[in-house]
Chains A and B, each alone.
Chain A
Amino acid sequence: MQNVTLTIDGRQVTVPEGTTVLNAAKELGIDIPTLCYLPKINEIGACRVCVVEIEGARYLEPSCIYQVRDGMVVKTNSHRVRQARQINTELLLSDHAHDCLVCDRNNNCDLQDLAARLGIREYRFEGVKNEAEIDDSSESIYRDPSKCINCRRCIAVCAEVQGVHALGAAERGFETGIVPAQHRPLADISCVNCGQCTIVCPTGALTEVSHVTKVARALGQKQKHVVVQTAPAVRVSLGEEFGMKPGTNVQGKMVAALRQLGFDGVFDTDFSADLTIMEEGTELINRIQNGGVLPMITSCSPGWIKFIEHNFPDMLPNLSTCKSPQQMFGALAKTYYADKMGIDPKDIYSVSIMPCTAKKFEITRPDMDSSGYQDVDAVLTTRELAKLIKSAGIDLATLPDEEYDDPLGISTGAGVIFGATGGVMEAALRTAYEVITGEELPKLDFEMLRGLKGVKQASVQVGDLTVNVAVAHSLVKARELMEKIQSGEIDDLHFIEIMACLGGCIGGGGQPRSDDPYVRSKRISGIYTADKDMKLRKSHENPAVQQLYKEFLGEPNSHKAHELLHTHYIERER
């Protein structure tokens, strides 16, 4: 590719042909404001916030899609440019709800930041307000279309990254709105609740359904014994909300903060991730040895579960019947733990901290009340936990590290890697190898299953058996893999891991907002470092899990385990 030299704001820069003015300016450290732009998936030049002046061109051009030419002279900060940006933004504000103070995105809003950056200090244009109706039908995603600025980022991520196509633009002109397919309630369509739209939405139009208030209320009730579990991926991202570097492991500080918030038992989903491996691994071995349905597919990711239920109902028998770690924990908290502690399960309030919005939907699924009560009562996303900690005035960074409580807080490195793509598979292989062969696994790290490649395949020798496995993350890649299996192009797999979000749970829809691949890879490194630092790194070596089987469940896939820890799936309309 040829290089092109151009002048931006009086400085020369040389970039490859095809580069946009926006990215060329970045090379010079010039930050042109953008709003609708999402690299690669939403480069549509719609919002006109990134306009620049090109010498010789009649109109201002959107720099996010305008390509460089040799000798081009660009001004990114002329009076004309600044005025145009300001007016375009003022027009966006003219029909916007002016309720920043009580908006979920207050102080964390791209539109607000932009208005501040451009120095907008009054509402010059008061137009007809966008009064589109709120859609609170979904258990996971709250839609307030009156705050929507039609940037189409949500449509892009839903279609291009997830292949779900739940959202689209409808109507025309001023009536244009971004709506669920056929303008039906979000809960009634094939939305999988992954929440990626809530990550990329620049305003408060798409947010998670908040459970903060009900958790705070439970914490204030004396008779309630409030327990909490924290998902693997939360510990390497929560710090970002407190100004720490992506991937910083704040596990100990988070545990301390949860205690300060008043949780009576602070536990780890990593524990039930280890348990999942025991159940799922046993299920896999049984399927392989007894001619069961193969390939078996993991069932930890509720976004993926709803996706397969809508799109590949023929493949539901391939799903592992194991509940997700969140739900296994929930079922045990109100049975095993309640027994052990001598607490009436009706007095236990069970909260989970998840990187995921679909987990809020998962707690309402059928079978998720096998304790006789709703197994998990509330789900806070990583973002919501950060809000709760901040509102309590707790300074996360300066808290001394604390340990999880026993016994549901004891875990291994195999549990923590559930948070990254490839992790469930790696954890399963560590255990399957040793259980089947009775020998120690020579090398614990399955490097070929790690990293951000969309679909990863590998063959692993386990005794006499060659186990063929595949790992996919993001639902576009999951769909690709499923289609290849259905067409017979791939026909030798035994076991598949799918995570709905890019990078796995560390890229979940409930995580601190970022679409930056660098942030994803840092969080992944944080996960694998945590694994490396653990004394125990194989699920079957978890003493608390061993004790659980001995005292309560019997053995993996026992009758009792089936009652509490397994589930079934539902065929849904496309």
Chain B
Amino acid sequence: MSSKLSTDQVQQIAKIIDEYRDQQGSLIPVLHKVQSIFGYLPDEAQKQVAYGLGIPVAEVYGVVTFYTLFNTEPSGQYIIELCMGTACYVKGAVDVQHEIESQLGIAINETTKDGKFTLRFSRCVGACSLAPFMTIGEDVYGRVKQEDVQRILSKYH
């Protein structure tokens, strides 16, 4: 369901669009800035960007869903990003994933009911020596084992 944006939000988006008007290739930077207002890209915000830049809504949606850095759903207070690069995968990232999912009662790309955590995969971050590797918000965790998960998550409760 798309809900209406507040007048203030509409004005903020309009300002961002104005900065980039008539510039080639401005869609991605505009979406990036608009996402920083909401933490994600609501349908109505995508539409305003589309109309503002004269790009079809369907195309904007295509870009938003293509790049993993854009989200179409509100995310939790803490974003857990679990690396699924080859090294992390081989070293047991999937076990860690399942442990997080069962601890939090969510699946990948979902947010806990209390709005605290969102679980996502990341592509290889280059920290292969620390595999399996994950970040929670700004915090970094390396060589994560299944049995560490509960302790790590408890820090954020």
A binds B: yes
Binding site for B on A (CB under 8 A): 155, 159, 165-172, 179-183, 189, 574
A170 touches B56 (CB 8 A): no
B104 to chain A, nearest CB (A): 23
A168 touches B66 (CB 8 A): no
Contact of B62 among A166, A168, A189, A574 (CB under 8 A): A168
For B43, the closest partner residue in chain A by CB is A182
Binding site for A on B (CB under 8 A): 2, 43, 46-47, 51, 56-59, 61-62, 65-66
Do A165 and B57 form a contact, CB below 8 Å, given A182-B43, A182-B46, A574-B51? yes
B80 to chain A, nearest CB (A): 21
Contacts of B57 in A (CB 8 A): 165, 181-182, 189, 574
Contact of B58 among A171, A172, A181 (CB under 8 A): A181
In the assembled complex, the Cα of A574 lies from the Cα of B43 at a distance in Å of 13
Contacts of B59 in A (CB 8 A): 165, 168
B97 to chain A, nearest CB (A): 18
A165 touches B56 (CB 8 A): yes
B66 touches A172 (CB 8 A): yes
For B2, the closest partner residue in chain A by CB is A182
Contacts of B66 in A (CB 8 A): 170-172
In the assembled complex, the Cα of A180 lies from the Cα of B62 at a distance in Å of 10
Among A169, A171, A181, residue most surrounded by chain B Cβ atoms (within 10 Å): A181
5 nearest interchain CB pairs? A168-B58, A165-B56, A181-B58, A181-B57, A170-B65
A169 touches B62 (CB 8 A): yes
B51 touches A171 (CB 8 A): no
For A180, the closest partner residue in chain B by CB is B58
For B66, the closest partner residue in chain A by CB is A172
In the assembled complex, the Cα of A189 lies from the Cα of B2 at a distance in Å of 12
Contacts of A179 in B (CB 8 A): 58, 61
A311 to chain B, nearest CB (A): 11
A166 touches B58 (CB 8 A): yes
In the assembled complex, the Cα of A171 lies from the Cα of B67 at a distance in Å of 8
Contacts of B65 in A (CB 8 A): 170-172
In the assembled complex, the Cα of A170 lies from the Cα of B46 at a distance in Å of 14
B43 touches A159 (CB 8 A): no
A165 touches B58 (CB 8 A): yes
Do A167 and B58 form a contact, CB below 8 Å, given A172-B66, A182-B43, A182-B46? yes
Among B43, B51, B57, B66, residue most surrounded by chain A Cβ atoms (within 10 Å): B57
25 contacts between A and B (CB under 8 A): A159-B56, A165-B57, A165-B58, A165-B59, A167-B58, A168-B56, A168-B58, A168-B61, A168-B62, A170-B61, A170-B62, A170-B66, A171-B65, A171-B66, A180-B58, A181-B56, A181-B58, A181-B61, A182-B43, A182-B46, A182-B57, A183-B61, A574-B47, A574-B51, A574-B57
